[in-house]
């Protein structure tokens, strides 16, 4: 599966399946937006993706607030595909 030119938003991406999914999507060519409330760990996951030649950003986002989605993800990345 190649995800070139796709943008993936992964919530709670700091551990477990979500972190593995973020790494997998990045390894397949997606630009990954790592989302969690824990800044230290979301930064670490994004840094690991970048160090492995992937594309990643990290953002804080209250997933229960629809206005936060546009501010944190859609505007900076222009879109979210996955």
The residue with greater pLDDT, 39 or 73, is 39
Give pLDDT, residue 19: 94
pTM, 2 dp: 0.80
Rounded to whole angstroms, how far apart are CA atoms 48 and 68? 25
Contact 35, 11 (CB under 8 A): yes
Rounded to whole angstroms, how far apart are CA atoms 32 and 34? 6
The residue with greater pLDDT, 43 or 74, is 43
Q: Per-residue pLDDT tens for 20-72?
A: 999 999 999 999 999 888 889 999 999 999 999 999 998 888 888 888 777 77
């Amino acid at each position: 599966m190649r995800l070139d030119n796709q943008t993936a938003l992964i919530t709670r991406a700091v551990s477990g399946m979500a972190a593995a999914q973020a790494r997998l999507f990045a390894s397949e060519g997606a630009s990954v937006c790592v989302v969690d409330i824990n800044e230290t760990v979301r930064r670490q996951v994004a840094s690991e993706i970048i160090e492995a030649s992937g594309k990643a950003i990290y953002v804080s986002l209250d997933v229960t607030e629809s206005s936060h989605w546009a501010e944190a993800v859609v505007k900076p990345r222009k879109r979210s595909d996955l």
